[in-house]
Amino acid sequence: MESSYYEEAGHLIVKVSGKLDTINAPKFGKILEKLLAEKPISCLLDFSEIVFLSSSGLQVLLAGAKISRQEGITFGVFGMREMVEDVFKLSGFNQFIRHFADKNEALNQQ
């Protein structure tokens, strides 16, 4: 799992690649928590290079969404591959975390 972040049009974009599984999710959770502590207006996760999402990865998303809601930060995910999006939707996370097809859609809907 690799991650990087940058700002675009006033949004914090966090790009994540690889597997968000039991081994990697805690590391990414700490990174996300630290970034959200800086209280950006908006945080969008770029999942276009995530190839596997486990329940541990979902827990990190849940924690990020919870922190964002408490701090008034707009939070969302974009670019999920079909298999990752299936896990996201089957778990019901699409009901409370905004998700977008790509970055342009995410930036235009914020």
Transcribe 19-54 into DSSP letters. EESTTTHHHHHHHHHHHHHT--SEEEEEEEEEEEE-
Domains of the chain listed by start with CATH number: 2-109 (3.30.750.24)
Distance CA 95, CA 81 (A): 18
- Say what the pLDDT of residue 23 is: 96
For residue range 8-30, list pLDDT tens digits in order.
988 999 999 999 999 999 999 99
For residue range 53-77, list pLDDT tens digits in order.
999 999 999 999 999 999 999 999 9
Percent of the chain residues topping a pLDDT of 70: 99
- Say what the pLDDT of residue 109 is: 82
Stated pTM of the model:
0.94
Distance CA 39, CA 20 (A): 23
State the DSSP H helix or E strand holding residue 57, giving kind and residue range, or none if neither. helix 55-71
Q: What are phi and psi of 21, to 5 degrees?
A: -120, -170
